[in-house]
Amino acid sequence: MAHEGIREGSYLSAEPGRGWLSSWLLTTDHKRIGILYLCSILLFFSVGVIFSFLMRLELISTGPTIMAADTYNSFFTLHGVIMLFLFLIPVVPAVFGNFLLPIMIGARDVAFPRINLLSWYFYMAGAALAMATLIIGPADTGWTFYAPYSLRTGSSASLAVFAVFVLGLSSILTGINFVTTVHRLRAPGMTWFRLPLFVWALYATAWIFIIATPILGVNLLLVIAERLFGIGVFDPARGGDPILYQHLFWIYSHPAVYIMVLPAMGAISEIVPVFARRVIFGYKAIAYSSIGIAAVGSLVWGHHMFVSGFSYTAAVYFSLFTFFVAIPSAIKVYNWVGSLYTVQGLDSYGHPVLLRAGFHISFFHRRPVRAHPRRAIGQCPPARHLLCRGPLPLHKVRGGGLRFFRGPPLLVPEDIGQNVQQEGSQLGASSARGYSWPRFLP
């Protein structure tokens, strides 16, 4: 445990009085927990990738090629659950947040180290439940578990739904830890406006965890109760309303996009000034824009529901608020551009700057042109057309965000090594491109 004195050697060597395995599984050291998360998330990510390749292989010709239809459906569901809840949601906060947040604010650990470890166990429990669906009984609902299909399907959707509920508990504990840590454990002199911008982004993300996750949680509990007892709230045959399921689902799942993208933006905000060799332009604006994105981003969930048959009045409001998110997002981008603008000699830019440019292009330019929320899906009529086009929009948004994998290796502290930074960043860049482009460019 962190407070039991200074350990010999690095944080990677076994803790005193413990074997190798128990000093990992029982650790309360935020750095070790970050690495636990890293290994488990990469493991499940590779499983998700395997599912995705198998599915694309199945689609190579018409009719059953390598698997039956219900196997395909269960792979489809599990691929979504893994990529969203086991990978995209925890990857930056739980790995890089856990590792770096205390270091960046000068704390020796997070506020509740044991609860931090507990969150990893909830993550593993949720992951185990999700994997168990393959053996016990696959779900065929897709990762969104939309009612009324999820209420009636004969597949064991309840288990998959419960797995996501447990993963939510893990997120909540991480969120509580980060908010408390930032408020209570900053080193003397580390005032709010001296915080690294990555910390600001994590702070905003942690608030999304706290506010949005329980609403998804209760929604999933309602689905389970509906399947077990038939309480009727989402079932039109009993007078219920399936669109309310979509509301409660997207109240969480839109902000979940920001859970992924905010810390990534925070990482960009750290990397740009280093390679521009100056302080970041517009520090306060970027800091506030993280909070702004979290706040306004909580009011836009209806843009996922334009085709659901909900009221046109609501569509107008949600469309309007979706446009508003562009403001804090653009504040960040223009300040990054401002940071780079003043530097002489563009040839000093290495790939880290190009990765930011790549982010810029994929997130803000390519997206509106091709099925992307910032503008196209934000507008109601095109959305009604575009949202019917299968997995494309989702993979452009979140798969596009994958390109952030060029970023995080650069946050690895200097003393661990320049090589990790350079090679990791190159690797992340090419693998993200290699993973997402060939299969999703139409």
Give residues in contact with other proteins (CB under 8 A). Answer: 1-3, 28, 107-116, 172, 175-177, 179-180, 183-186, 210-211, 213-215, 217-219, 221-222, 225, 229-233, 237-241, 243-244, 247-248, 251, 298-299, 302, 309-314, 317-318
Question: Shortest approach of Cu ion to residue 216 CB, angstroms?
Answer: 14
Q: Which of 106, 108, 96, 116 is nearest to 28 (CA)?
A: 116
Q: Which of 201, 267, 277, 280 is nearest to 405 (CA)?
A: 267
Q: Should residue 247 be labelled a site residue for Cu ion when binding is judged by CB under 5 A?
A: no
Nearer CB in complex with other proteins: 381/417 = 381
Question: Shortest approach of other proteins to residue 145 CB, angstroms?
Answer: 15
Q: Which does 175 bind (CB under 5 to 8 A by kind): other proteins, Cu ion, none?
A: other proteins
How far is it, in rounded angstroms, from Cα 99 to Cα 121? 17
Q: Pattern of binders to Cu ion over 183-212, x per CB under 5 A? A: ------------------------------
Question: Shortest approach of Cu ion to residue 182 CB, angstroms?
Answer: 26
Q: Which of 183, 179, 184 is nearest to 209 (CA)?
A: 179
Q: Should residue 374 be labelled a site residue for Cu ion when binding is judged by CB under 5 A?
A: no
Question: Shortest approach of other proteins to residue 363 CB, angstroms?
Answer: 25
Q: Which does 193 bind (CB under 5 to 8 A by kind): Cu ion, other proteins, none?
A: none
- Asked if 353 and 340 touch (Cβ cutoff 8 Å), the reply is yes
Residues 6+ apart with CB under 8 A from 197: 266, 269, 270, 280, 283, 286, 287, 290
Angle in degrees, CA 290, 418, 203, rounded to 5 = 20
Question: Shortest approach of Cu ion to residue 435 CB, angstroms?
Answer: 22
Exposure string (b/e) for 427-439, b if CB count within 10 Å is 16 or more? ebbeebeebbeee
- Asked if 82 and 253 touch (Cβ cutoff 8 Å), the reply is no
Among 247, 254, 332, 398, binds Cu ion (CB under 5 A): 254
Q: Which does 254 bind (CB under 5 to 8 A by kind): other proteins, Cu ion, none?
A: Cu ion
Cβ–Cβ contacts within 10 Å for residue 117, how many?
20
Q: Which does 211 bind (CB under 5 to 8 A by kind): Cu ion, other proteins, none?
A: other proteins
Q: Tokens 């044991």 sit at which residue?
A: 114
Question: What angle, rounded to 10 degrees, do the helices at 157-184 and 113-136 form?
Answer: 170
Q: Which of 269, 417, 278 is nearest to 329 (CA)?
A: 269
Q: Which residue is nearest to Cu ion (CB)?
A: 254
Nearer CB in complex with other proteins: 312/441 = 312
Nearer CB in complex with other proteins: 292/409 = 292
Residues 6+ apart with CB under 8 A from 204: 258, 262, 290, 291, 293, 294
Q: Which does 22 bind (CB under 5 to 8 A by kind): other proteins, Cu ion, none?
A: none
Total residues contacting Cu ion by CB under 5 A comes to 1
Question: Shortest approach of other proteins to residue 24 CB, angstroms?
Answer: 18
Question: Shortest approach of Cu ion to residue 254 CB, angstroms?
Answer: 4
How far is it, in rounded angstroms, from Cα 169 to Cα 167? 5
Q: Should residue 30 be labelled a site residue for Cu ion when binding is judged by CB under 5 A?
A: no
Q: Which does 233 bind (CB under 5 to 8 A by kind): other proteins, Cu ion, none?
A: other proteins
Write out the two tokens for 6. 């200074």
Q: Which does 251 bind (CB under 5 to 8 A by kind): Cu ion, other proteins, none?
A: other proteins
Cβ–Cβ contacts within 10 Å for residue 57, how many?
12
Applying CB under 5 A, the residues found at the interface with Cu ion are 254
